[in-house]
Amino acid sequence: MNSGQMKNWCSIFFAAGCLCSSGVGRAADLIGAAQETAVVQKYCGSCHSDALMYGGLSVQHFDAARPDPTLTAMLLSKITNGHTPKDVSAADSAGVLKMMRESAMGAAGQGVPDEETQVMFARTLALQSKGAYEWNILWENTGASTRDRALIASILREKPSAKYEGVTDSYRLIVSCRAGTREGEIKVTWANAPAGEGQMMSVAVDSAAAFQHKVEGGRAQGNGNNGPGATILKMPLPTQSLTVSNLFGDGNLVFPFSALSQATRPDLAVCFPASEAAK
């Protein structure tokens, strides 16, 4: 990413109401794609792999040259103890380092990068998180057979923590469809929220009555030895919205399925036949 692109990203952040510190617009204050990928794999990859899926999060296929904004926002939340892209963009270097102290950055037992690298890494993730609050669509395994290709749609929502002052809980909704096998999955993952295995949550699809869902443990749910962080929802593909409550303290989280593009929805719906039958 060149300096012109960085300046443009910073301008977009200003337009969106996010603050950029004086260094964020300069390429020298951001980490390069190859180095960023190496940092992610070294300090995050040993726990957040396809095999382990701790916290419902895998970075095994992380590509800093083509980042998923919802994934980078979750990574940022984990390495800054629950701070948002806006928080990081507004902070000076000392403030960013304070956010990162005793965070998931050192959870893999590899130590942590030098302070300059930590700050650049956090600032880069903050910029790459632009667009996380809208639907992000990507195809995985594009070079593989049609059977193995997967369509992934994800979106991020945030709420102030009900437990920790100054902390923001982040929630990522991931809808996936492997068209070749028609295997679909709807998963909610979270960072910093205290709720976990055994917790009951309320789920409402569109205007239907809410149902109770219990957060399970184990790899399939993304809740490994590194603590809870995800749950798979058995439900049809919503048309208008998915509303989740109770798990996250007071209030609801609403994921807007009505905002999915008309081109994307049919590709996802083939993995959720009940959704089509309900129309």
Reading the chain (279 residues) residue by residue, the pLDDT tens digits are: 444 444 444 443 333 334 344 444 455 579 999 999 999 999 999 888 888 888 778 898 899 999 999 999 999 999 999 999 999 999 999 999 999 999 989 888 889 999 999 999 999 999 999 999 999 999 887 655 666 789 999 999 999 988 888 899 999 999 999 988 999 999 999 987 766 778 889 999 999 999 999 988 776 676 755 555 889 999 999 999 999 998 777 678 999 999 999 999 999 999 998 754 334
pTM of the model: 0.85
Phi-psi category of 130—alpha, beta or left, where left has phi over 0 and alpha has psi -120 to 50? beta
Place of tokens 């679909």: 184
Other beta carbons within 10 angstroms of residue 194's beta carbon come to 15
Dihedral of CA atoms 62, 65, 70, 73 in degrees, nearest 10, equals 90
Question: What pairs with residue 254 in β-bridges?
Answer: 243
The one-letter amino acid at 258 = S
Place of tokens 């130590």: 111
